[in-house]
Amino acid sequence: MIPRYSLPEISALFTDEARFGTWLEVEVLAVEAWARLGVVPVEDARAVRDRAGFDVAAIHERERITDHDVAAFVDVVQETVGPPAGAWVHYGLTSSDVVDTALALQMTRAIDLIAGAAAELENAIAKRAREFRDTPMVGRTHGIHAEPTTFGAKLALWAMQVRRDRERLARARATIAVGKLSGAVGTYSNVDPEVERYVCEQLGLRPVPATQVLPRDRHAEVMYTCASIGASIETFALEIRHLQRTEVREAEEGFREGQKGSSAMPHKRNPIKSEQMCGLARVLRGTLQAALEDVALWHERDISHSSVERIIVPDSLMLTYYVLVKWRQVIENLQVHPDRMLRNLDASFGLVFSQPVLLALVEAGRTRDEAYRVVQRNAMRAWQEERPFRELLAADPDVTATLDPARLDACFDLKRALANVNRVFDALDNMGDLPA
């Protein structure tokens, strides 16, 4: 991932130093497991633990000769240990035993960071949802005024969507927190299953059956979860982009002292982070496509997935973390304009109350089709003539013959329209916390 979209705490997990470091964890534990089985002398296992190390530059230099990164890594580690103990490094293993187990370890560590960021985002959204619980605004369907809602209810639904992403993260972590040290085709032909059990236990992973490689549907599930998080944040960001439009201006991203919205137009305050989030969500969806194509491999293994994963796994995980952290900052600094929301709610001449009028006419004995056409006729006049909907209804004999003024007024009661919004907050408040 390019530095612009990388945050240090997660990018540190995917440096060459970190990758080789996880490989080394697997290799050293495997030697210790062999020692527990009496195959490797205890003093040699101790020497491996004490002396095993690597130099990244030396590995890259060695790879120019071997044309195989794991072989180069093993050569360098064995040299740092020295004979005779160094000869036990990589004993009985194939490259994928090390690489796949280590990659799963890196991914679980990254998911833990992402899960923390997702929890912070959920909390930030929920806090602002409660802040604007009773702030009325117009609800829009197809981009057109529909019925009243509250800005808090909108945000509460966002918080619940993030919660679902957190639940997906927990499932994805369980799926990828696995390891395998079962040899060239997964049959344990040259490695005792106890080695796999011990190594995985020490790393906090679960040993699973595999071929030479872990099945790639596991990795694809993680990539789906990243794409899902991106899609959620894109949903929220797209809404802010709409609400920040000049004609709407109900909410907008925070704007810092010294910030510039345009190099040419000093008046501009653009939803740049929201637009960035929408763009980065496309990248996350693209990595999912590549991950799904990695699932099908030849027989017990080929390496068509390897080059892809070297790009998409770090990039997807780092980018997912980035969008969660940055979107939380947008939410925390979001500027909300309740007066503008109320003004926009009134801008459609009271048409947002058309359904209560329809239902009142039906309750008074009109057929639904009759009532619909009476309300629709007046609604279209309100649009065309830019006149209050309530005023037109009060002058329509088809309405006044059925509804008295008090009943008609009740149809335009904003408090009545929002009386049950708290059900959204009941759901939000009852979510509790996810189990650790």
Specify whether the CB–CB gap between 111 and 169 falls below 8 A.
Answer: yes
The string of pLDDT tens digits covering residues 386-421 is 999 999 999 999 999 999 999 999 999 999 999 999
d(CA 188, CA 197) in angstroms, rounded, equals 12
- C-beta neighbour count of 80 within 10 angstroms: 16
432: left (phi over 0), alpha (psi -120 to 50) or beta: left
Per the prediction, the chain carries an average pLDDT of: 97
Specify whether the CB–CB gap between 29 and 45 falls below 8 A.
Answer: no
Residue 162 CA: distances (Å) to CA of 110, 159, 227, 316, 321 = 18, 5, 13, 18, 13
Say what the pLDDT of residue 260 is: 86
Q: Within its chain, how far is the Cα of 135 from the centroid?
A: 28
d(CA 220, CA 288) in angstroms, rounded, equals 7
Q: Given a cut of 60, is residue 115 above it in pLDDT?
A: yes
Sequential DSSP letters for 274-306: HHHHHHHHHHHHHHHHHHHHTS--STT--SHHH
d(CA 371, CA 160) in angstroms, rounded, equals 37
Half-sphere exposure of 198 (CA within 13 A, CB side): 18
Domain boundaries, the chain: 8-91, 93-175+216-348+418-436, 351-411
Q: Given a cut of 70, is residue 19 above it in pLDDT?
A: yes
User: Using 50, 70 and 90 to split pLDDT, how confident is the model at 257?
Assistant: confident
At which residue do the structure tokens 């000769």 appear? 65
Q: Under CATH, domain 8-91 is a member of which superfamily?
A: Fumarase/aspartase (N-terminal domain) (1.10.275.10)
Specify whether the CB–CB gap between 34 and 92 falls below 8 A.
Answer: yes
**If you ran DSSP here, which 8-state letter would residue 185 be given?**
T
d(CA 249, CA 335) in angstroms, rounded, equals 10
Please enumerate in sequence order all residues whose Cβ is within 8 A of that of 254, keeping only pairs 6 or more positions apart, or say none: 330, 333, 334, 335
Q: Given a cut of 60, is residue 333 above it in pLDDT?
A: yes
**If you ran DSSP here, which 8-state letter would residue 264 be given?**
S
Say what the pLDDT of residue 215 is: 97
Specify whether the CB–CB gap between 186 and 212 falls below 8 A.
Answer: yes
Rg of the chain over CA atoms, in angstroms?
30
Is 142 one of the annotated active-site residues of the chain?
yes
d(CA 132, CA 121) in angstroms, rounded, equals 17
Task: State the pTM of this model.
Answer: 0.95
d(CA 304, CA 296) in angstroms, rounded, equals 9
Specify whether the CB–CB gap between 167 and 79 falls below 8 A.
Answer: no
Q: Given a cut of 70, is residue 191 above it in pLDDT?
A: yes
The string of pLDDT tens digits covering residues 127-184 is 999 999 999 999 999 999 999 999 999 999 999 999 999 999 999 999 999 999 999 9
**If you ran DSSP here, which 8-state letter would residue 14 be given?**
G
Say what the pLDDT of residue 180 is: 98
d(CA 242, CA 244) in angstroms, rounded, equals 5
CATH architecture, domain 351-411: Orthogonal Bundle (1.10)
- C-beta neighbour count of 333 within 10 angstroms: 13
Coil, helix or strand at residue 156: helix
User: Using 50, 70 and 90 to split pLDDT, how confident is the model at 436?
Assistant: low
Catalytic residue among 60, 68, 189, 262: 262
Between 262 and 156, the more confident residue is 156
The string of pLDDT tens digits covering residues 219-236 is 999 999 999 999 999 999
Give the range among 148-157, 260-269, 273-282 with minimum mean pLDDT: 260-269
Say what the pLDDT of residue 262 is: 84
Backbone angles phi, psi at 204, to 5 degrees: 75, 25
Structure tokens at 157: 């639904």
Q: Can you tell me the mean pLDDT for 289-301? A: 97
**Angle formed by the axes of helices 95-131 and 69-81, nearest 10°:** 100
Which residues face 221 on adjacent strands? none
User: For strand 136-141 and strand 144-150, is the pairing parallel, antiparallel, or unpaired?
Assistant: antiparallel
∠ Cα 249 388 420 (to 5°): 65
Is 262 one of the annotated active-site residues of the chain?
yes
End-to-end CA distance of the chain: 29
Backbone angles phi, psi at 137, to 5 degrees: -155, 170
Q: Under CATH, domain 93-175+216-348+418-436 is a member of which superfamily?
A: Fumarase/aspartase (Central domain) (1.20.200.10)
Specify whether the CB–CB gap between 215 and 309 falls below 8 A.
Answer: no
Query: H-helix or E-strand containing 175?
Result: helix 151-176
**Angle formed by the axes of helices 95-131 and 151-176, nearest 10°:** 160
The string of pLDDT tens digits covering residues 61-103 is 999 999 999 999 999 999 999 999 999 999 999 999 999 999 9
Q: Given a cut of 60, is residue 8 above it in pLDDT?
A: yes
Say what the pLDDT of residue 287 is: 97
Q: Within its chain, how far is the Cα of 374 from the centroid?
A: 47
